[in-house]
Amino acid sequence: MRSLGFSLEQVRTFIAVASAQNMSRAAAAVHLTQGAVTQQVHHFERALGVQLVERTRHGIRLTPAGSAVAQACLTAARELESIEEAARLHRTMEIGALRIGAGPTCAGHYLPPLLARFVQQFPQVEIVVTVGNSPSVAELVASGQLDCGLIEGPAADPKLEERLLLQDELVVVAGSGHPLARSKHVTLADLAPHRYLSREPGSALEHSAREMLGDAYDRSPHLVLNQLDAVQAAALSGLGYAVLPLVAASRELKERTLVRLPVASKSRWIRAVRRTASRVPAVDEFWRFLPAAAEAVGTDSDPS
């Protein structure tokens, strides 16, 4: 391994600067003076041969090179933490920390039973879960800000390794009092005059919904709600029709507060993703654990 022209302390300091976008707050975070932080950043810039930060009237901001280097620093810092975790694994039989991202359906229905099984085997592991739409979770995993993720669509990122876990079914629903729920025969053309209850553009659910609904997706007026629970609540209130995961709506469908419309459903894979190059002990253990646990969870959560 060749000698590097910069120090780990410079990397640590620059991560704090990139996160805070402010020298004084970064100095407080790393317990250095503001002058020492400024000097560390200058040394880091000279070692790399690029400008990382630039001053503005309101403080500092990262240059494009600075943003790219900051992402690389975050990834490198997490991999360096794995050295200590690997030693602790062999010394105490503990695993360390695990930072997991999850799409809304995964966070609400698939991840909790998986984690319940995981912590039975590794009770000392520290777990932090971040919930976001699937594209944002995949991006955070690829950048090293999360260790792994459970998402509801393909990641399409060469830096990520994917593992298919189980299949999730999407259905079209409306509240029991909605006019569509009282119709025995509903076509896609019949949906168009009614309000469609949408997640945020770019989410994995909306990508699948567009495929399911065809022209009706664009022709229907949209009510955009950023949370899956909010979409379901709006459907229950009769505000419109929605595409929901069957696992999320199963109780309401059984109680007939939601009605499944006679539109073809769509299956999608729930996937686990991690960085291809990552070998953090906690992630390795979770990755090995997932297939059998997901099979059990899929059987338990089958809404039929």
* Count of structural domains, the chain: 3
Same domain? 216 vs 275: no
User: Residue 65: is its pLDDT beyond 60?
Assistant: yes
The answer to whether residues 266 and 87 touch, using CB atoms and an 8 Å cutoff, is: no
The answer, yes or no, to whether residue 92 has pLDDT greater than 70, is no
Same domain (yes/no): 151, 96 = yes
Residue 2 located in a structural domain: no
Task: Kindly state whether residues 286 and 137 are assigned to the same domain.
Answer: yes
Q: pLDDT-derived band of residue 192, with 50, 70 and 90 as boundaries?
A: very high
Identify the CA nearest to 37 among candidates 58, 54, 22.
22
Tell me, yes or no, whether 160 and 276 share the same domain. Answer: yes
pLDDT over 50 at 93, yes or no: no
**Which of these three, 51, 75, 99, is where a domain ends?**
75
Confidence of residue 276 (pLDDT cuts 50, 70, 90): confident
The answer as to whether 3 is a domain residue is no
- In the listed set 30, 46, 75, which residue is the last one of a domain according to the structure? 75
Last residue of a domain, one of 50, 75, 100: 75
* 136 located within any domain: yes
**Residue 60 placed within a domain:** yes
Residue 87 covered by a domain: yes
Candidate from 89-103, 118-132, 194-208 with smallest mean pLDDT: 89-103
What pLDDT, on the 0 to 100 scale, is given for residue 57? 81
Give the residue-averaged pLDDT of 2-22: 89
One domain for residues 194 and 261: yes
Looking at the fold, whether 231 and 281 belong to one and the same domain comes out as: no
How far apart CA 211 and CA 208 sit, in angstroms, is 5
253 found inside a domain: yes
| Same domain, yes or no: 177 and 259 | yes
- My answer on whether 188 and 259 are in the same domain is yes
Instruction: Write out pLDDT tens, residues 134-157.
Output: 999 999 999 888 999 999 988 888
Closest CA to 92 of 118, 123, 62: 123
279 shares its domain with 230: no
Q: Is the model's pLDDT at 236 over the cut of 70?
A: yes
The token pair at 43 is 């040394």
Q: What average pLDDT does this structure show over 11-26?
A: 92
pLDDT higher than threshold 70 for residue 91: no
Assigned domain for 276 exists: yes
190/115 same-domain check: no
pLDDT over 60 (residue 18):
yes
> What is residue 263's three-state secondary structure?
coil
- The domain that contains 68 carries what CATH number? 1.10.10.10
Whether 212 is covered by a domain: the verdict is yes
76-80 long-range Cβ contacts below 8 angstroms, 24+ apart: 76/11, 76/144, 77/11, 77/12, 77/15, 77/144, 78/144, 78/147, 78/278, 78/280, 79/144, 79/277, 79/278, 79/279, 79/280, 80/8
Within this chain, do residues 69 and 82 fall inside the same structural domain, yes or no? no
Same domain, 155 and 275: yes
pTM beyond 0.75, yes or no: no
Give mean pLDDT, residues 221-235. Answer: 94
Look up the domain containing 275 and give its range.
76-166+269-300
The per-residue pLDDT of the chain, averaged, comes to 89
Closest to 220 measured CA to CA, from 196, 197, 203, 243: 196
CATH code where residue 229 lies: 3.40.190.290
